[in-house]
Amino acid sequence: MKDERVWLASDCIVEPLFDCWYAWAYLLPPLHAGMMVRARHIPVMESFVDAPELHVEALKNPDLIGGPYLASPVGDRERIAELLAWTKETSRPLLAIADAYDELERTLRSAPPTMSIEPLYAAVPEPLRGYVELVFDRWHQPSARILEALLYRSEYFDRKRQAIALQRADFDHREFVFSTPRLPSSTPGGVKLDIAYDSKRLDLLFRARTEGVSLALLRDTLRQSADDSLAFDKLFVASPPVPRPREAVTKGLNVRYFGHACALVEGREFSVLIDPLIPCDGSGPVRFSYADLPDRIDFVLLTHSHQDHVALETLLQLRHKIGEVIVPRSASGTMLDPSLRLLLNAAGFARVREVEDMDSIELPGGGEILALPFFGEHGDLDIRTKNSYAVRAAGKTVAFLADSNGLEPLVYERLAKELGELDLLLIGLECTGAPVSWLYGPLLGAPLRRRSDQSRRLNSSDCQRAMLVTNALRPKRSYVYAMGGEPWCRFMTSVHYTDESAPIVESNKYISACAEKGIECERLYGAADIRV
């Protein structure tokens, strides 16, 4: 190529990496990363090295995708063994603080009740000294509050473990990403950039998604960090992406559905993007992609910290055009509920605002974003980093309830008084969900019995509970979303629905129940523009 403007290819997949693993919200906070490496990365690699054939055979069953099986060929056994040894050595500090936290909790559980907690500071294991505060709850039970902000500033947070992998491929045929490391042999033609997430150099790279950027500047800025400089140029093309037609919003609101829980709300003077997970080109259904977003996004709203709602690969690519990220306030310093604000700050997002239930954010040109309570989807754990949202502007109100479970209808009856007339409701009916240990197992103090684990699901509403919510809020229209059924979501969700799958059956029942009440309703899939 000559020295001219180029664009990042529309089929270029971007993956943030922690070591060689796909990075997500519980791999950035240092203490939580230690827990995940100890309980997930090391055991699955050890299992593969011991019996790679077992993993290959297991993954022939689609129901086991997303389980503790490494999706690599038997021939990668030696490479995985090398990565395992490297991980154990490199992760010594993270494993030390994870072990120290467990030791501290055992000490606190055996402490004499109601006696002063001051002497216990001497019992804090060395790796955690200065990173925890010891406190009693109102029932006089001792616990440790994690000083997360200090941990992000410590030697335990190592940006050298961060990288970005790029590869041109069919977005809709990505393997499930969370149980398998990204070895060079698994990404032919791929390029790894040894650049930390907070680097401004990445903003230049990702501007090339939709803006022409000088290839010479890209080379000078980034190619020295690439492990394959010859493959670097092949990530770019000479023609800009072609956006799909979009009418200007002159009245009311427009809701553009990008798949799963991702939606763009536009008014005359603002744009709000919710739970961004933007696909690249693929062989599946019609989609909106990066070219179909506005040049500026005033607010990004994140509903909760699960991997399909806080997609770092999308957030990093949009960082240069985001005004402010709005996140739920965490429980502050608890093992199960790390701060989403601190995580995003560490990833280079300078403007991140925390909100709590019923907080209001003013929109340009008038209107507001209203943070709403969020029940369900978290296996009954005390996790505060979760909010639904309503957008009110131009005389219209739209509510996004994502993975909410209608466990307490009275909450929504009370919300109805606050929201008033609701023009559009979007609600998730992924009513099966994974057992709580699937995500939170490494962070729990003790394993759950299988029966308890299976009963405490990461699920949202079924038809009955969705109708309780709908009857309370009385929307004019309702749409089922956040189902994760699009092929470009499977690399995160491992979902493969059939007509008999419970979420499909329950959402069909919900659509019929809404029709009986005169409420227009459908299940969203792929791409849609909805005028409100």
pLDDT at 186: 66
Give the residues of the chain that fall short of pLDDT 70: 1-3, 185-187
Cβ burial, residue 329 (10 Å; 0-12/13-18/19+): buried
DSSP H or E stretch at residue 362:
strand 360-362
Among candidates 360, 366, 430, which has minimal Cα distance to 394?
Answer: 366
At 349, give phi and psi (nearest 5°): -90, 110
CATH 3.60.15.10 range(s) for the chain read 254-529
Q: Residue 135's beta-bridge partner residues?
A: 143
Residue among 343, 344, 395 nearest 368 (CA): 395
Q: Which of 281, 273, 286 is nearest to 318 (CA)?
A: 273
> What whole-number distance in Å separates Cα of residue 106 and Cα of residue 102?
6
Could you give the C-alpha distances from 154 to 132, 197, 477, in angstroms and in order?
Answer: 13, 17, 50
pLDDT at 143: 93
In the sheet that holds 191-193, the strands lie side by side as 21-22, 12-18, 162-168, 191-193
Q: What pLDDT is recorded for position 157?
A: 98
CATH second-level architecture of 254-529? Answer: 4-Layer Sandwich (3.60)
Distance CA 411, CA 440 (A): 26
CA distance 234 to 223: 12
Mean pLDDT taken over the chain = 95
Question: In this predicted structure, what is the pLDDT of residue 1?
Answer: 45
Region at 19 (left for phi over 0; alpha for psi -120 to 50; beta for the rest): left
SS (H, E, C) 255-286: EEEEECCEEEEECCCCEEEECCCCCCCCCCCC
Structure-block tokens of residue 2? 């000559």
Neighbours of 356 (CB within 10 A): 11
The pairing of strands 132-136 and 21-22 is: unpaired
What would the pLDDT profile of 18-74 be if each residue is shown by its tens digit?
A: 999 999 999 999 999 999 999 999 999 999 999 999 999 999 998 899 999 999 999
